[in-house]
Structure 1
Amino acid sequence: MNKPFVSLRPEITRSHALILMDWLEDERVTRYLSDSRSVSGFIAQAIDRTQMPILTHLFNQGGRFFMAYDRNDSPVGFVRLVKTGPDCEIVLVIGDHDTWGRRLGASTIREGLKLAFLDMRAETVIAKIHPDNTRSLKAFQRCGFLLKSETPTLQSLHMTSGRYLRLLREGVMAASADIYITEMDKARLQSLIEFEQGPALVDLEHEIERAIVVDPQQVAPDVVTMNSRVALQLDDEEKEVALVYPEDADERSGKLSVLSDVGAAILGYQEGDAIDWMVSDRTRHILIERVIYQPESSGHFHL
């Protein structure tokens, strides 16, 4: 679990706004942020003109704004996604300079791409970066962005939806272990995604797209497939759950929908795999201890 982990969360509170102002007053943070003064002024005005504890609606004017958190649930930066037609510009700042050098920037970029392509359905994501900002340039290039154009003061990088999906399937975008999905499960889950709604849909689609697809008769017996029963550890809590389709879900009986946070998290992993995942607005550590029952290994291919 030494790989960097970042989650993006849309809720912005007054305390978040104050943290953002502190970051934007740090010259190390704002050196290459062209609109840092206007952003800082906007935040100050937002705090002054409302006493509301939640400021999310103010930050989402003209785009979508997210706070970035590390695996300890500490805010480390922010992402802004601005969609114009089929294109989406990503603006990213890691404001906590004590975390610089830990590759949180690349993890944040990957989370931003997931939202831009799988939630906002952008065709192209664009990042505009000062050529002297070598740390950011390397992070975006490491994630697969390509140079589109450049001037002495600006490099424009881009990523297309097709390239994103290809890199995702090749494992370049993954920050965790390989996962496996049967051909039958993938087909059923893709049909499910077309008609369902819910906060876990983007994460589920991301996992399905990056999964290694296998024949149901060839899947390893310790892989979590649909309708498997699994013993897992959620932080310090031992749980036994079944991974089911939404119509069969019953949390009181331990039947978790694949559209739930934990359900989407465990799909495709193997015994011994450990995952950091956002569950109910906080980061949880999930360990797959044992696959108690897997339909495919028992010859139950109709489930």
Structure 2
Amino acid sequence: MSKPFISLSPEITRANALDLMDWLEDESVVRYLSDSRDVSRFIGQVIDRVQLPVLTHLFNQGGRFFMACDRHDVPVGFVRLVKTGPDCEIVLVIGDRDNWGRRLGASALREGMKLAFFDMRAEKLVARIHADNARSLQAFVRCDFLLESETPTLKSFSMTSQRYLRFLRESAVDDPTGIYITEIDRARLRSVLEFEQGGAAVDLEHEIERAMLVDAQQVARNVVTMNSRARLLLDDEAVEVALVYPQDADASAGKLSVCSEIGTAILGYKEGDAIDWRIPDRTRRISIEKLLYQPEAAGDFHL
């Protein structure tokens, strides 16, 4: 069974709004959502009032709203993040009932956690879940949230930024698709992040923090490290790239910045790995067909 995959798209289209209305009119989907009627009514008013193909700005009032999409870019649910002071609250729903039981909720939660802590810089992420909502409770427990308080009808969970970093690193130990990074590369990339912003920087910081740390002289010869060259298959397109620092990037020469979507995606993976990765408008399948050069394997530790 392939690993569950969810990406969070910040663009909310008119078609997405119609999907949301369908989900929010399904009693089995909304029975544990306290404000579902208000949200459904709001969406209906937006659709009637605003004749625009993209409605993102309307959904981000008072928080940030994302469509949760599968590996084929089909919306299956949504995530909402609302930051108040140092804390952030998350609400997530898998609205497509055909996808229930596939652990997409936990995948969506992991993506929401990444945004809350690395993009919104929350100190704590909280969730309030109906006590009978077994699927949601299971997803939050699986992602290492702690139960803070409970009543007969509501359970409150939380995750601090420190606990989240620990969760990332501990999860990597048992992850067969985990990535590896050398101590030298991690130190240099952390310096790079001081000057980078945007979605690619968020993803890069996440990858650095979840990676297994290895000594440069002991890294496996099939791992993509900084300044490695590799032959990739991007969907059906074969390309040869070198993974470089931003100042060395040159698209015409095949030198791909680690701060680009594809550059961040391949960092730390091994020859033969294939991953799904969201770029701004779609998800791409990236296969690392052949590692052509790795500085550490060649003894070029100065690179």
The TM-score with structure 2 as length reference comes to: 0.97
CA distance in 2: counterparts of 1:72 and 1:4, whole angstroms: 12
CA distance in 2: counterparts of 1:124 and 1:159, whole angstroms: 6
CA distance in 2: counterparts of 1:149 and 1:269, whole angstroms: 40
Q: How far did 1:302 drift?
A: 1.2
Where does residue 252 of structure 1 map in the other structure?
A: 252
CA distance in 1: counterparts of 2:60 and 2:10, whole angstroms: 9
- In structure 2, relative to structure 1, the CA distance for the partners of 1:176 and 1:277 (3 Å cut) is farther
Q: How far did 1:280 drift?
A: 3.8
Q: How far did 1:197 drift?
A: 2.0
Which shifted more, 42-51 or 131-140?
42-51
The 3-state SS of whatever aligns with 2:108 is: helix
Q: Which runs of 5+ in 2 are unaligned?
A: none
- How many aligned residue pairs are there? 303
CA distance in 2: counterparts of 1:113 and 1:30, whole angstroms: 22
Where does residue 166 of structure 2 map in the other structure?
A: 166
- The equivalences for 1:205-284 within 5 A come to 205-284=205-284
Contact preservation (8 Å) 1:167, 1:173 = no
Where does residue 140 of structure 2 map in the other structure?
A: 140
Q: How far did 1:199 drift?
A: 2.1
Give per-residue Cα distances to partners, 1:12-33, cap 9 Å, x unaligned.
Answer: 1111111100100000100101
Structure 1 residue runs of 4 or more that deviate by more than 2 Å after TM superposition: 172-176
Contact preservation (8 Å) 1:183, 1:215 = yes
The TM-score with structure 1 as length reference comes to: 0.97
Where does residue 9 of structure 2 map in the other structure?
A: 9
- In structure 2, relative to structure 1, the CA distance for the partners of 1:280 and 1:84 (3 Å cut) is closer
Q: How far did 1:273 drift?
A: 1.1
Q: How far did 1:172 drift?
A: 5.9
- In structure 2, relative to structure 1, the CA distance for the partners of 1:55 and 1:161 (3 Å cut) is same
Contact preservation (8 Å) 1:131, 1:154 = yes
CA distance in 2: counterparts of 1:174 and 1:269, whole angstroms: 15
Contact preservation (8 Å) 1:176, 1:275 = no
CA distance in 2: counterparts of 1:6 and 1:139, whole angstroms: 14
Give per-residue Cα distances to partners, 1:99-155, cap 9 Å, x unaligned.
Answer: 001100000000000000000000111110001001110011001111000001100
- The equivalences for 1:1-303 within 5 A come to 2-171=2-171, 177-303=177-303
Which shifted more, 234-243 or 79-88?
234-243
- In structure 2, relative to structure 1, the CA distance for the partners of 1:200 and 1:183 (3 Å cut) is same
CA distance in 2: counterparts of 1:175 and 1:41, whole angstroms: 42
- In structure 2, relative to structure 1, the CA distance for the partners of 1:47 and 1:176 (3 Å cut) is farther
Contact preservation (8 Å) 2:172, 2:178 = no
Q: How far did 1:176 drift?
A: 6.7
Q: How far did 1:286 drift?
A: 1.0
Q: CA RMSD in A?
A: 1.3
- Percentage of pairs with the same residue: 72
Q: How far did 1:233 drift?
A: 1.2
Equivalent AA in structure 2 for residue 222 of structure 1:
N
CA distance in 2: counterparts of 1:256 and 1:160, whole angstroms: 34
Q: How far did 1:48 drift?
A: 1.6
Which shifted more, 247-256 or 181-190?
247-256
Give per-residue Cα distances to partners, 1:215-268, cap 9 Å, x unaligned.
Answer: 111111111000000011111121111000111111121111001111000000
Q: How far did 1:173 drift?
A: 10
The 3-state SS of whatever aligns with 1:42 is: helix
Q: Which runs of 5+ in 1 are unaligned?
A: none
The 3-state SS of whatever aligns with 1:126 is: strand
- In structure 2, relative to structure 1, the CA distance for the partners of 1:174 and 1:245 (3 Å cut) is farther
Contact preservation (8 Å) 1:107, 1:175 = no
